[in-house]
Structure formats: structure tokens, C-alpha cells
Amino acid sequence: MELSVNLCGITLDNPIIPASGTFGYGYEFAELYDINVLGTFSFKGTTRETRYGNPTPRIAECTGGLLNAVGLQNPGVDRVISEELPKMRQVFHKPVMANVSGFSIDEYVEVVSKLDKVEDIGWIEVNISCPNVHGGGMSFGTDPVCAGEVTKAVRRVTEKPLVIKLSPNVTDITQIARAVESEGADAVSLINTLVGMRINLNTRKPILANRTGGFSGSAVFPVALNMVNKVYNAVKIPVVGMGGVSSAEDVLEMMMAGATAVEIGSMNLVNPYACKEIIEDLPKVMAKYRVDKLTDIIGGVI
């Protein structure tokens, strides 16, 4: 069985990538298993300044998934480079994916330009689709012109493969995908979370202090699969698929829909061994469905 894939010129031993915000900087999970079994992982969303995130409560359970409104809590790009990445290097020895968020084009540019100088960062994933913060994130990702402007600006300051993370909270996600492709994106990743809400029946108030949050988990998988397939057929650059993936079978579906690699998010919060177990299950699931090489099935839905 051949599990390896090539994402923007870099070979992954397998297509499994823990998604940003669900895997920290890797070293907590490294206490549980050797995280070098992963293809790579996308580390926590990074902004220019330290962010403490949204007020609590900022997590709410719901059928088939969860809502989160963490709000991009992170130590800021300078401390990520000086404190978090040295600890990560002790436990992870492959190129890593850096995830970047911002509240202005200038912020995206500054953060990307700093991360561009870090040798062991293989890809830069630019998040223009976060629904949990006000005045940034998703506001760039719901308009093709704005999405293109961010992509064009960060393209100028990095030679690393540029992956633009797209929002599902749009009428036509293919418009956004084409816009970022035209401005120099090397790949797109999708979907980020859907906007959701829960209400406390006793207080008659939203459960989340932020009122709304990002809905993720197995319930969103069919939505994600459809959008990945649409984008795969709309652009010529690779697609990284994510959204509700929870099994090796889901990985095969996502790749048949058009994904070159597959990010796994909420399942890491439910089961910290999820990615390891999916990687271990892949060969037998491939055998069951007569798949010798994963690359043979990318976009192979009939």
C-alpha cells in the first residue's frame, strides 16, 4: 500500500494532517504517541499580537459536533517563533504547516514575512475564514476581491507554498477559490467551521459568550465533501480537505472528492489518538476498497 502524497512539492508520508487549533504545537500530543507518524500538522493560528481569546463559555456541545468560539488565542508570532517552535522541534522532525490569522492585510503580511524565515515551516496556511472573531478572519474570506487582495499581499513576502483556508459561509465557495488561485495561492484548504449557535433554555440566552461559534464535527462532513468536490473541479491547484473527518473511510471519501491531503480537527478533541488510529487503519481500508495508491483516487469520484 502506498500512502504517500505530494502537497505543493513536499512529500508527506501519508495525507493525515491535524487541523490548526486542535493540535496546539504538537508537544502535548507527543506525550501520548510519536507524532512523526503524521503527514504533518497545522499549528495553532498565529496573529501579530498575543491574543487571550474570547470570554468564556466558549465551547458548546451539540448533536454530531461542537461549537467553539475560542477566538484565536495564541502568544503572538514573535513568541511562537522564540518559544513554541523550539519545543516543537524536540518532538517533530518534519516540515510543519504554519497557520496565520489577521485583522488587516498589514497584519497578515507581517506575520507571514516573519514565519517565512523559519526553516522547518514547510507550508503557510492563511486563514481567511475564522468565524469566531469580530472584524477579521472570515470578513476577508467571504468576498472574492478581499480574498484575492490578502493572497496577493502575502504572496509577495513568502516563497513557501501558500495554502489559503476557505470559509463555507458563502454562497459560492468556488468564486473565492478561483480568486485566491489567480493571485498566487499554491493550494486551498476547506472547509473551516460553519457558523452556529446554541441557546440555554433556562436563561434564554446564548450558551456561548460570543453568541455564535464555529460548528464542526461529523455532522458537517457531507457539506465539506460537497464543497471540496466543487472546488476541486473549479481550480487547478491542490485541495486540502477537512470538515467532520473521523475515520479512514472518511479520508478515502475526501480524497475521492478531490483532496490531496486531509486535515482532521474536532476528532483530536474527542480522541487524542484519532489521527494515529486513522493512519493505522488506512492500509486495511484501502485493501477493502481495492486502493493500492492513495494518489490514484484523488478526484476519482465518478
Q: How far apart are CA 262 and CA 12, in angstroms?
A: 11
The mean per-residue pLDDT over the stretch 187-209 comes to 96
pLDDT in tens, 251-287: 999 999 999 999 999 999 999 999 999 999 999 999 9
pLDDT in tens, 52-95: 989 999 999 999 999 999 988 999 999 999 999 999 999 999 99
pTM (two decimals): 0.95
pLDDT in tens, 237-251: 999 999 999 999 999
The mean per-residue pLDDT over the stretch 30-36 comes to 98
Q: How far is CA 182 from CA 20, 86, 107, 186, in A?
A: 25, 35, 22, 10
Q: Quick one: pLDDT band at residue 290, thresholds 50, 70, 90? A: very high
> Does position 137 have pLDDT exceeding 70, yes or no?
no
The mean per-residue pLDDT over the stretch 220-234 comes to 98
Q: How far apart are CA 272 and CA 33, in angstroms?
A: 9
Domain presence at residue 302: no
* Segments forming the whole domain that contains residue 292: 5-297
Known catalytic residue: 130? Answer: yes
Q: How far apart are CA 21 and CA 7, in angstroms?
A: 21
> Does position 136 have pLDDT exceeding 60, yes or no?
no
**The pLDDT of residue 138:** 54
Write down the catalytic residue from 8, 62, 130, 275.
Answer: 130
> Does position 234 have pLDDT exceeding 80, yes or no?
yes
**The pLDDT of residue 139:** 66
**The pLDDT of residue 134:** 47
- What is the pLDDT of the chain when averaged over all its residues? 95
DSSP class of residue 14 equals S
**The pLDDT of residue 263:** 98
Domains of the chain: total: 1
Q: How far apart are CA 117 and CA 2, in angstroms?
A: 33
CATH classification of the domain holding 235 = 3.20.20.70
> Does position 10 have pLDDT exceeding 80, yes or no?
yes
Q: Quick one: pLDDT band at residue 179, thresholds 50, 70, 90? A: very high
> Does position 200 have pLDDT exceeding 70, yes or no?
yes
Domain presence at residue 137: yes
Q: Quick one: pLDDT band at residue 125, thresholds 50, 70, 90? A: very high
Domain presence at residue 79: yes
